[in-house]
Structure 1
Amino acid sequence: MSAETMTVARAERDAFVAQAHGRAVRRVLRTLAVGHLFMGAIYWGIFLVITIALPLVVRAAGGEISGGAMTGAEFSARWFAFSLGVVLLTMLLVAHLAAGGTRRTLWVGSVGAALVAGVAYGVLNAVGLLVERGIFRSLGWEWDRLGSALVPQDDWFVVSAAAEALAVAVYVLVGAAIAAGYYSRGILRGTLLIVPGVVILALVDTVTRTGALDEAATALFSDAVPSSAAVGLPAGLLVVAGSAAWLWSHLRAVTLRPAR
């Protein structure tokens, strides 16, 4: 075989591998993203109905509130996304690898799906806050502003949406990493992964100034907690990147074992 023929064959092989890799990534991304978006739509649909109905019911009863349903969404949405990160990767991992998919395509698709989920949750969270604020103002009530505590406050809608998107993406990635850890490390060490996972979640809550873990971190380390979006949001991106790397460290070690 001539050198020219070998070069052409190598180029064709590389092109085929690249196409196969792209198809596998898109399949993983589509499967996981659809799961996150479908279940997320149900979750946020319920919360938006409650957000609209709660103040109207309270007003009809002659009462007044300062915090509506979105107070609950501020803390529960990311944990809902976390649980989906665990469940969806668990459902896909074995089937993907057994069908000949690679760990790298699973990782790339998982990271992409986490970012899609993050953006969707971030936007829907900010929209929910706007809806609740509008209802409270129409009823003549004071509204306690929710969302990220990062400044500037004039752009709270954009800042809160971006902060929530970053936080949810990290929660999804950490959930997926813990699920992969059970396959790669076993039950005992996989369970211990919850500890560094919680540390990562507390870190993203702190730098984005969102969620329940931010309140604890702010109380303990008030001087080290960022207050500016110019600092907090880039720091959140770094936590997303670290979470993706942590997921890869577990996926690359996954081995399929026969059922006993």
Structure 2
Amino acid sequence: MSAVVVTRADRDAFVARVHARAVRRVARSVGQASLVIGAAFWAIFLVTTVGVPLVVHQAGGVMGGGVMTGAEYAAPWFALSLGMIALASLVVPHLAAGGTRRSLVVGALAAALVAGVAYGVAYALMLLVERGLFGALGWEWQQLGSGLDAGGAWLVVTGVGEAISVVVYMLVGMAAQAAYRTFGVWRGTALLLPGLALLLLVDHATRNGAFADALGGLGLGGDHAPAGLGLLQAVVVLALAVAWMWWQVRLLRLRPTR
């Protein structure tokens, strides 16, 4: 009976296939949940975006700005909570099934990017719906908040900025969940500070979100910035968020239940 010889190339190919399969499963699990739950989130904002102006118009009033500013603030925080929930629900079965931290990070990052693009597109389309409705009602529409100076490309720049913000917030949520699992309540809470710094930085770069408004109110950030510079800064913050999430997942240790 001849022995089966397994070469290093065979082992590497097998490991690569297993890794790719694990990445796909993580990306599918997190991505599908983000898109399905996100669809409900944006459906609520669609009803609100259309319904509130119609009610105000029926009552004889006029709105100076729409309700999509609420989506600008809410969508990234919604993504952050999804990131925390996704990692909390997935990490134990993933590692117990033999998955690696690397495949968990790569799959989660792929899902976050898909969610970010979807949310950014939804946000831009909803702005178009709101502007069209205001025009049909004879109202003047203006995008509330500061934003980036983009000229005629404002819609694309706004959608891209929102997409990057969503990805950063989602990754920071995953990093926070990993930190709590590894270090417990007190040290995990302390490790929220670097994550909050990343949120502040991406809001400042895109000139969108609650932190951007807070900085503007304190006189620490201008209302507008060149679109190219702002988006470049946002991409740098995104890279830092990826590194922060990878670092926390790399350190991840599952504690026994008490």
TM interval, shorter chain, is over 0.9
- Structure 2 counterparts to residues 31-110 of structure 1, below 5 A: 31-110=29-108
Q: Give yes or no for the alignment of 1:220 onto 2:219.
A: yes
The residue correspondences of 1:1-260 to structure 2 (distance < 5 A) are 9-146=7-144, 149-218=147-216, 219-222=218-221, 227-260=225-258
> CA offsets per residue over residues 74-119 of structure 1, 9 Å max, x none?
2111111111111111111111111111000001111111111111
Matched to 2:219, the amino acid is: L
Supply the AA of the counterpart residue of 1:131. V
**Partner Cα distance (1:202, 1:257) in 2:** 31
Alpha-carbon offset, residue 71 of structure 1:
2.0
Q: Which amino acid aligns with 2:116?
A: G
Q: What SS does the aligned partner of 2:65 have?
A: coil
TM-score in terms of structure 1 length: 0.93
CA RMSD in angstroms comes to: 1.7
TM-score by length of 2: 0.94
Q: Secondary structure, in 3 states, of the residue corresponding to 1:67?
A: coil
Query: Contact 2:182 / 2:255 at 8 angstroms: preserved in 1?
Result: no
Q: Between the two proteins, what is the percent identity of the paired residues?
A: 52
Q: Please, which moves more after superposition, 72-81 or 28-37?
A: 72-81
> Residue 23 of structure 2 contacts residue 106 of structure 2 at CA under 8 Å; is this kept in 1?
yes
State which drifts further: 50-59 or 173-182. 50-59
Deviations 1:135-177 (A, max 9, x none): 0011111112247611222101100010000011000000010
Q: What is the rounded CA distance, in whole Å, between the counterparts of 1:32 and 1:41 in structure 2?
A: 14
Distance across 2 between alignment mates of 1:42 and 1:61: 28
Q: CA 1:126 to 1:55, structure 2 compared with 1: closer, same or farther past 3 Å? A: same
Paired with 2:156 and 2:145, the residues of 1 have a C-alpha distance of 10
> One-letter code of the match for 2:213?
E
| Number of equivalences | 254
Q: Supply the distance in 2 between the matched residues of 1:147 and 1:103 (Cα, whole angstroms).
A: 39
8 Å contact kept, 2:181–2:255:
no
Look up the equivalent residue of 1:177 and give its one-letter code.
Answer: A
Unaligned 5+ residue runs, structure 1?
A: none
Give the superposition deviation at 1:226: 6.8
Q: What is the Cα deviation at residue 207 of structure 1? A: 0.5
* Counterpart code for 1:235: Q
- Aligned residue for 1:63, secondary structure, equals coil
Paired with 1:220 and 1:176, the residues of 2 have a C-alpha distance of 31
Q: Give the deviation of 1:195 after TM superposition.
A: 1.8
Distance 1:196 1:26, change over 3 A: same
Alpha-carbon distance in 2 for matches of 1:161, 1:73: 12
**Which is further off, 143-152 or 228-237?**
143-152
**Deviation per residue, 1:208-258 (Å, 9 max, x gap):** 1111111222343236x8711111111111111100110111111112233
Of residues 226-235 and 42-51 in structure 1, the stretch that sits farther from structure 2 once superposed is 226-235
The 8 Å contact of residues 148 and 156 in structure 1, kept in 2 or not, is answered as no
Kept in 2: contact 1:207–1:226 (CA 8 A)? no
